[in-house]
């Protein structure tokens, strides 16, 4: 059983190295960092359409997909459009592209980018109105008013990227969820250490070599730390709840501020035939987009609704999934979502799924590391996760399945079911 009338495939794409915030890639913007990715991918095949996204708003463009494609000096007759769904942006792009295949559109290039080092600055609505009204009546007065703007007239980036409705950062919300689910600091640090160790091993054994294109400023991911240890992680102070004595989320067990761009392919059978024969690819069987009340369930807990519903729809249990690629916004977020989906009472009451899905095998989760170690440029994470999962699943026996899960701001999340073919 599949969501699609005809087979849809995801094929591994390419990405930049992921850079540390304020580091080697900070001079780029989301367009210029995306250009080398789409240029490199277009050398393998020209897509029939492009879907691309970025999360942090920029007043310089409205359709980043088209801007990237044209700046890359590629065929202007290829259409391109943009999507955004917070951290699930480029995963949502794959779902959108999958639904558009057919009628001569067989191959889509999808992805996204974020340069978190360089968020745009904007004026508040009040300051903007004041200036635009002045420009209409008196340009000289408007210019004088520009010179007298104060810091209160600007919309400045909020540390931790705050939710607009609550005004609280992702970390603030995750601290609340970690406490609600009794996620211990030691467990978070242990998972963070595994993420770093696996990402470092992945680079050492060559896993990432054909997924990452080197840039002049950076040739490999800057965030994975070969020298970290459980002792070093344990020594870090809480980054969000600093006063209660119960804070558990630190810089070490959270995904870091990151710059990067990533892409992957979405295709039908005719589109896959246009890619190089050795391109890893798997079938996109189905997907789930879920949303929860962020005031009740937690800002990043939507995957715990989507995963059981997706598995139940296909009569699958946890043991039927050979690979889990779970985005690590925070180590606590991974631990809390898995705690939820492995609680049959919770799944029954919240997700509306009756089936007992059996034991969960942690050894199948993020075998090459996740976002805590690799980094999390919002718009690029979905394509990075998917390409990584496709290559990991490609190495497993035919018929093996994977779940790829990404949480997103606003109490939303996306989950994909993949199958090795």
Residues forming beta bridges with residue 418, ordered by sequence position: 284, 402
Look up tokens 């990227």; give the residue: 161
How far is 266 from 338, CA to CA, in rounded Å?
28
How far is 331 from 248, CA to CA, in rounded Å?
10
Residues with catalytic function? 87, 376, 407
Q: In terms of DSSP H, where are the helices of 50-106?
A: 64-71, 89-100
How far is 215 from 93, CA to CA, in rounded Å?
25
Count the Cβ atoms, other than its own, within 10 Å of residue 169: 18
Picking from 378, 374, 403, 111, the residue whose alpha carbon sits closest to that of residue 282 is 403
Cβ proximity of 212 and 221 under 8 Å: yes
Look up tokens 């996740």; give the residue: 370
How far is 136 from 215, CA to CA, in rounded Å?
45
Its sign, for the CA torsion 383, 385, 387, 393, is negative
């Amino acid at each position: 059983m599949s969501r699609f009338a005809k087979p849809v495939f995801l094929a591994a794409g390419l990405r930049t190295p992921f850079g540390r915030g304020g580091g080697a890639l900070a001079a780029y913007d989301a367009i210029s960092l995306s250009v080398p990715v789409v240029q490199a991918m277009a050398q393998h095949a020209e897509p029939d359409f492009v879907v691309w996204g970025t999360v942090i708003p920029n007043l310089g463009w409205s359709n980043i997909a088209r801007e990237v494609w044209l700046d890359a000096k590629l065929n202007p007759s290829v259409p391109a459009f943009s999507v955004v769904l917070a951290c699930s942006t480029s995963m949502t792009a794959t779902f959108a592209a999958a639904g558009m295949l057919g009628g001569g559109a067989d191959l889509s290039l999808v992805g996204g980018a974020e340069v978190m080092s360089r968020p745009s600055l904007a004026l508040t609505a009040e300051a903007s109105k004041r200036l635009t009204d002045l420009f209409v009546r008196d340009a000289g007065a408007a210019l004088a008013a520009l010179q007298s703007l104060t810091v209160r007239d600007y919309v400045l980036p909020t540390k931790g990227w705050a939710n607009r409705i609550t005004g609280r950062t992702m970390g603030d919300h995750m601290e609340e969820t970690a406490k609600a689910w009794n996620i211990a600091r030691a467990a978070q640090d242990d998972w963070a250490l595994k993420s770093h160790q696996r990402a470092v091993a992945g680079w050492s054994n060559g896993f990432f070599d054909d997924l990452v294109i080197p840039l002049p400023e950076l040739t490999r991911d800057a965030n994975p730390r070969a020298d970290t240890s459980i002792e070093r992680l344990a020594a870090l102070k809480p980054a969000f709840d600093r006063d209660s004595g119960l804070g558990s989320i630190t810089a070490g067990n959270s995904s870091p501020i990151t710059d990067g761009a990533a892409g992957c392919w979405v295709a039908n059978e005719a589109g896959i035939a246009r890619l190089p024969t050795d391109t890893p690819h798997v079938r996109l069987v189905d997907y789930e987009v879920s949303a929860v009340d962020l005031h009740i369930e937690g800002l990043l807990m939507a995957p715990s609704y989507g995963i059981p519903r997706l598995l139940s729809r296909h009569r699958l249990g946890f043991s039927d999934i050979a690979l889990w690629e779970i985005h690590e916004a925070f180590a606590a977020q991974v631990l809390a979502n898995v705690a939820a989906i492995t609680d049959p009472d919770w799944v029954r009451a919240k997700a509306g799924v009756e089936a007992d899905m059996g034991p969960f095998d942690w050894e199948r989760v993020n075998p090459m590391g996740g976002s805590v170690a690799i980094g999390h440029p919002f718009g690029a994470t979905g394509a990075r996760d998917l390409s990584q999962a496709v290559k990991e699943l490609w190495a497993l026996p035919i018929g093996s399945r994977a779940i790829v899960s990404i949480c997103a701001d606003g109490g939303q999340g996306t989950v994909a079911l993949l199958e090795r073919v």
